[in-house]
Structure 1
């Protein structure tokens, strides 16, 4: 149900559109009804990008993250600059699902290195291609220190002149850093030339209507990169503001969504607030986490600082587990760093991907969420993707658990106490044992063939059952019709059962609905694997 509300404020009238959206995810299938919350418009719109006159695609991209905050988290994968989408392809192969976020870097290294800065023309082409395929693009930059020219190494070379830093990691002198922030100095001019070069490639993406989650000077509260860890007048924060001015005010780039990125504040001098440039210069706040160090204090501090702006995990070695996400619900995406997909086991990826909050490109919810962004970018809606998974097997011995089950006024009477199942591709053999209060146990056995009318019973009770597997292969469905005779009376009954497994296959849940001759029954029967 929608509601329109007008609120008179000092600075104008805000029109707020509220909507409700109900979602149900069964396996990998999402059933969607209603509408997602609409964009909130106002004279001073907090959802508006900090870039003046931001492109429609940048506006739609940021709006997507406001819409999913606290509801969904998008999967992501980083790719080294010189290998195109190799890491993303591996992630899909290993986890079974395609990451939404395509992450890359403008590079810094020599030719043929995985981090080569010479790959930038190909990075632009790949980013455009990924955007067309359905990915959301984020780019960071292991920037070269202005004391050197491209290419450089990642770490300082042993014996190198410390006054002429030629690596991404390492420290500049205080005077050098001051000169980078002082107009007219040689180092300032060198810095401008390097930024201007990258701006040219960002402009190509702008011309192609590709919005970019732009994450410059990441992990800025750490001291391992030449740009990081500086406070005071000539600070890392000042450098961030300088690149903002250069790209937005000088180059007039309007396709950037600004992602301010920090590392875990495990030292007092690394506190987020020491490096925060202010809400007018960032759209999204990002935290980099390695070693599964998802401390609640880190999340809470960033959340307070954000003042409602979206939170993301800019880089991770392992994605957060479900219990972490329950306590830290506002993360809107994660990006697994290159070469670290297998830090998380396949079964753990499967647990994450089966959660309805976690979206990959195969999920219907993501295709609907990204539709407005694709429309303003001049792209067609993403096609529906059907995922074919190997059907589960219900084979085993299953013991009725009355405490876990949901029964009706008839209690546990006529409920099988033990079910033995042999499930193969051609048939399902179901042997049920019923404990009798005044006689020996009663046992029935049915061999059910998918797609056929399977008949069972005796003269006074005849049942016809048709079984099938659900499209996504995780549910066994049994539809039955039966006829019962009591003397001259005849009763017809229809029933439906849906069998699913939970708790990693340790529990069988049978949802049973029937039009019983004594009334309707709606049961949830739980069986533990013996």
Structure 2
């Protein structure tokens, strides 16, 4: 296990040699020194869910958790091998955050055998003390198309029309998610908390819930309908609700709050960032996200990012991890940076991968990032499901 300390303090210590207490978060972030209580969307959230929420906030003053989508399920050259991970193949440790998709659990693909694997690896991640986050590339409940079917601007209208065929179907999909969440239990017998980010990248036009198919009022109503149904109707109390606009260029505060459902309906501020090889853009947007996190008193993180193929014009970026991820994250206030998936491609005929794997040109540089005291992997995590000291979640 790496020795972790507050990296911002380490930086400030070079300037203010009198500072020596690496655990004194208030010295580094004066604007949060008096924050002892955070508010969560679900007041009846489980003990473990509230504990995770407290630790998402606390860890932001120490570093960021590295995450990878579907990392425990498949990798560049392997599929469904128990205990394997592209990340672990390279650095000997699992990601701190395991990202996965719950759409196939919910929609007409719910009988997929892949759901057995999803459930197994999610439980394995929790049992190791890792953090789970889930998106949902849901099929279009009105047209039968996929997530990218933005051919109709009536989908959300019909979901919100009580008794309509689309409303009934969507509630069935939420029922399936509720069943999954309520039956997802760790070795400790507890319901496993999930950071759930429905309707991700809603700032974009590609999805049936996105900016081209919904009005502001419709999107906000859809968000609230989903939260209310899962929390109040179905009694699911192990979800942390995360919003994740896609921010690819330098954007201001308003873009991060695009179609904001309200402070009482959002727990976590996410950002899907596909900005290419532009570390200055990434740094600036993470800074804005960090400041908003402090302002709203909600933890935050980069919920998706990466460059397909980890390359520039066909040439591998050997120093990608220190230049494009570690450096922009240093000195910030974010809980996680999650890379998108490495598609299973044993012939290596394509470039659909966003994180490292054994043999990639950036492997040595990835290990440098791993060895940094500001990057948290599985073995570096505190007990994420025990309440962080000095914090109360109401």
- TM-score by length of structure 2 reads 0.70
Q: Deviations over 1:382-406 (max 9, x none)?
A: xxxxxxxxxxxxxxxxxxxxxxxxx
Q: In 1, are the aligned partners of 2:51 and 2:385 still within 8 Å (CA)?
A: no
* Residue ranges of structure 2 left out of the alignment (5+ in a row): 8-20, 27-34, 308-320, 343-353, 389-394
Alignment match, 1:61: 52
Q: Cα 1:373–1:76, aligned 2, differ >3 Å: closer, same or farther?
A: farther
Alignment match, 1:285: 269
How big is the shift at 1:348?
2.0
How big is the shift at 1:222?
1.0
Alignment match, 2:205: 223
Q: In 2, are the aligned partners of 1:231 and 1:237 still within 8 Å (CA)?
A: no
Q: Cα 1:233–1:357, aligned 2, differ >3 Å: closer, same or farther?
A: closer
Counterpart secondary structure, 1:263: coil
In the TM superposition, 1:310-459 aligns within 5 A as 310-317=299-306, 320-326=324-330, 329-339=332-342, 340-342=354-356, 345-363=362-380, 366=381, 368-370=382-384, 372=386
Distance 1:116 1:235 in 2: 30
Q: Cα 1:322–1:304, aligned 2, differ >3 Å: closer, same or farther?
A: closer
Q: Cα 1:173–1:34, aligned 2, differ >3 Å: closer, same or farther?
A: closer
Q: Cα 1:272–1:131, aligned 2, differ >3 Å: closer, same or farther?
A: same
How big is the shift at 1:34?
9.0
- TM-score by length of structure 1 reads 0.53
Q: In 1, are the aligned partners of 2:48 and 2:385 still within 8 Å (CA)?
A: no
Q: Which has the higher strand share?
A: 1
Q: Cα 1:23–1:108, aligned 2, differ >3 Å: closer, same or farther?
A: closer
Alignment match, 2:98: 102
- Are 1:202 and 2:181 matched, yes or no? yes
Tell me the C-alpha RMSD between the 2 structures: 3.6
Higher radius of gyration, 1 or 2:
1
Q: Deviations over 1:63-84 (max 9, x none)?
A: 1111111321111111177855
Q: Cα 1:75–1:265, aligned 2, differ >3 Å: closer, same or farther?
A: closer
Alignment match, 1:451: none
* Residue ranges of structure 1 left out of the alignment (5+ in a row): 1-20, 26-32, 39-43, 148-163, 375-530
How big is the shift at 1:118?
4.2
Distance 1:107 1:84 in 2: 19
Distance 1:187 1:45 in 2: 43
Alignment match, 2:285: 298
Q: In 1, are the aligned partners of 2:247 and 2:271 still within 8 Å (CA)?
A: yes
Q: Deviations over 1:455-485 (max 9, x none)?
A: xxxxxxxxxxxxxxxxxxxxxxxxxxxxxxx
Q: Cα 1:266–1:177, aligned 2, differ >3 Å: closer, same or farther?
A: farther
Counterpart secondary structure, 1:235: helix
Q: Cα 1:108–1:62, aligned 2, differ >3 Å: closer, same or farther?
A: same
Q: Which has the higher helix share?
A: 2
Corresponding residue pairs, total:
319
Q: In 2, are the aligned partners of 1:22 and 1:34 still within 8 Å (CA)?
A: no
How big is the shift at 1:336?
1.5
How big is the shift at 1:93?
0.5
